[in-house]
Amino acid sequence: MTAKRNQILAELKRLYPQAGPELNFSNPYETLVATILSAQCTDRQVNKVTPELFARYPSVEAMAAADVNEVYPIVKSCGFKSKASNIVEACRLIALRHAGQVPRTMEELTALPGVGQKTANVVLANAFGVPAIAVDTHVFRVSNRLGLAQAKNVEQTEKQLKENVPMKDWIDAHHWLIYHGRRVCHAQNPACEICTLRSYCSYGLGEKPSAQDKPKSKGRPSAESSAERQAKPKWKTSITGQNKTTAAR
Ligand code: SF4
């Protein structure tokens, strides 16, 4: 397993050397807000609304003082009004409890409204460089197809990935798996015929256990992917990083 795992990780690294967050943000506050908005929404859509949002509310303090009814129209295309409420309330709590600084621990982050374990892992990794693996629908699907995990739910997948991937690669591996899931290993009709990982992949070689594509109800990834599946990403022969800036990487 170790040799195969290392070969898979090496190939993912070769394929996506510049993989990183596809959300645009430039500090921990923006990372948190963009990540909350990205639940059940595509990164592309979030990136459309955040320039106006961050121009109007450029800090935790500004968002904490905001009227939800004025925030909601800006972020409406990303989903429910509860997202606007969660963002404003989370910033109020950060101002109150953490002197306006986005907290750096899982416990403190998940105490904020709209922040579950996946969102907290994304913030820890992308805002602060803390080793973490956020299991979204792409990470779940691709890692289980490749055998980096053999799990039925998100919690098991995160635990197994942390056991099977060296900690120094956790943050990058999260991005590699997302990139591969969006560009090649689609939920429907994965492009196995052009996938350079096929020789390591029992799913790609025709052994396709049905349990590996969708987790059981416990810890099921967000519906983020359903919108993305509809977008039907195209295969790109050249992958380039298109991120704006990460706060601490
Ligand atoms: S061979 Fe197919 S199922 Fe396996 S990682 Fe590649 S695209 Fe996904």
Mean pLDDT value across residues 224-228: 36
User: What ligand 1 atom has the least distance to the C-alpha of 204?
Assistant: 1
Atom number of ligand 1 nearest to Cα 201: 4
As a whole number of angstroms, the distance between CA 119 and CA 214 comes to 19
Report the C-alpha gap between 163 and 241 in whole angstroms.
27
pLDDT tens for 183-220 read 999 999 999 999 999 999 989 888 765 445 666 655 44
Residue 39 has pLDDT above 80, yes or no: yes
- Enumerate the β-bridge partners of residue 102: none
Q: Which helix (H) or strand (E) holds 225?
A: helix 224-231
Residue 193 carries which side chain, given as an amino acid letter? E
How many whole angstroms from its chain centre is CA 43? 9
pTM comes to: 0.83
Mutate which of 9, 145, 196, 207 to test ligand 1's pocket (most atoms within 8 Å of Cβ)? 145
Every domain of the chain and the residues it spans: 28-128, 138-218
Fold that domain 28-128 belongs to in CATH: Endonuclease III; domain 1 (1.10.340)
Mean pLDDT of 234-242: 31
Other CB atoms within 10 Å distance of the CB of residue 30: 22
**Per-residue pLDDT at 245 exceeds 70:** no
The response to whether residue 204 sits with its C-beta less than 6 Å from ligand 1 reads yes
State residue 38's pLDDT score. Answer: 96
The yes-or-no verdict on residue 243 having pLDDT over 60 is no
**Which CATH number is correct for 138-218, 2.40.50.320, 3.40.50.10320, 3.40.1380.10, 1.10.1670.10?**
1.10.1670.10
Note the pLDDT tens digit of each residue in 94-130. 999 999 999 999 999 999 999 999 999 999 999 999 9
